Amino acid sequence: MVELGTQSDRGVSQLRCIGCGEIALPDRFRCEHCRDLLEIVYPGWQERGAGGLTPPELKKLWDSRRSSLDPLDQSGVWRFREVLPEIAAQQVITVREGNTPVYELPHGSRSAGVKQLYVKHQGMNPTGSFKDTGMTVAASFARQAGYRWVACASTGNTSASMAAYAARGGLHSLVLIPHGKISWSKLSQSLDYGAITCQLKTDFDGCVRVLNEVVERMPVYLLNSVNPYRVEGQKTAAVELLEHFSWEPPDHIVVPGGNLANSSAIGKGLGEMRQLGFISRLPKISVIQAEGANPLVRTVREARGEQLVPVHAETMATAIRIGNPASWKKALRVIRESGGTVEQVSEIEIALAKAEIGAEGIGCEPASAVTLAGLKKLVKQGFVKPNESVVLVLTGHVLKDSEYTLKFHRGDLFAGTGTGLDEGSERLKTQQRSPLSLEPNVDAVIELLRSAEN
Ligand code: F0G
Residue whose C-alpha is closest to residue 199's, from 223, 221, 181: 181
Provide the pLDDT confidence category of residue 315 given band limits of 50, 70 and 90: very high
Contacts of 117 (CB under 8 A, 6+ apart): 104, 105, 106, 108, 109, 375, 389, 390, 392
Average pLDDT (204-213) is 96
Indicate if ligand 1 lies below 6 Å from the C-beta of 300: no
17 lines ligand 1 (CB under 6 A): no
Mean pLDDT of 438-445: 94
Is ligand 1 within 6 A of the CB of residue 51?
A: no
Round the average pLDDT of the chain to a whole number and report it. Answer: 94
pLDDT of residue 7: 41
- Ligand 1 proximity of 234 Cβ (cutoff 6 Å): no
- Is any ligand 1 atom within 6 A of the Cβ of residue 108? no
Q: Specify the pLDDT at position 4.
A: 44
Rounded average pLDDT over 206-233: 96
Residue 320 CA to ligand 1 centre (angstroms): 6
Residue 369 reports pLDDT greater than 80: yes
Question: What per-residue confidence (pLDDT) applies to 422?
Answer: 58
pLDDT for 86 beyond 50 = yes
CB 257 less than 6 A from any atom of ligand 1: yes
What is the distance in A from the centroid of ligand 1 to the CA of 452? 38
> Does ligand 1 lie within 6 Å of residue 256's CB atom?
yes
Least confident range of 178-182, 252-256, 358-362 = 178-182
Q: Is the minimum distance from the CB of 334 to ligand 1 under 6 angstroms? A: no
The helix/strand/coil state of 239 is: helix
Q: Work out the average pLDDT over 88-114.
A: 98
pLDDT of residue 401: 98
CA of residue 29 to ligand 1 center, whole Å:
19
**Quick one: pLDDT band at residue 2, thresholds 50, 70, 90?**
very low
pLDDT at 137 > cutoff 60 = yes
Vertex 335 angle, CA 300 and 307, to 5°: 35
Query: How confident is the model at residue 10, as a pLDDT?
Result: 45
CA-nearest residue, atom 12 of ligand 1? 259
Does 59 or 417 have the greater pLDDT score?
Answer: 59
Q: Quick one: which atom of ligand 1 is closest to the CA of 262?
A: 13
Kindly state if the Cβ of 154 falls inside 6 Å of ligand 1.
yes
Q: Torsions phi, psi of 242, nearest 5?
A: -65, -40
DSSP result, 246-315: TT---SEEEEE-SSSHHHHHHHHHHHHHHHTTS-SSPPEEEEEEEGGG-HHHHHHHHHTTSS--------
CA of 364 to the centre of ligand 1 (A): 13
Is 8's pLDDT higher than 90?
no
- pLDDT above 90 as % of the chain: 91
User: Distance from first CA to last CA of the chain, Å, rounded?
Assistant: 71
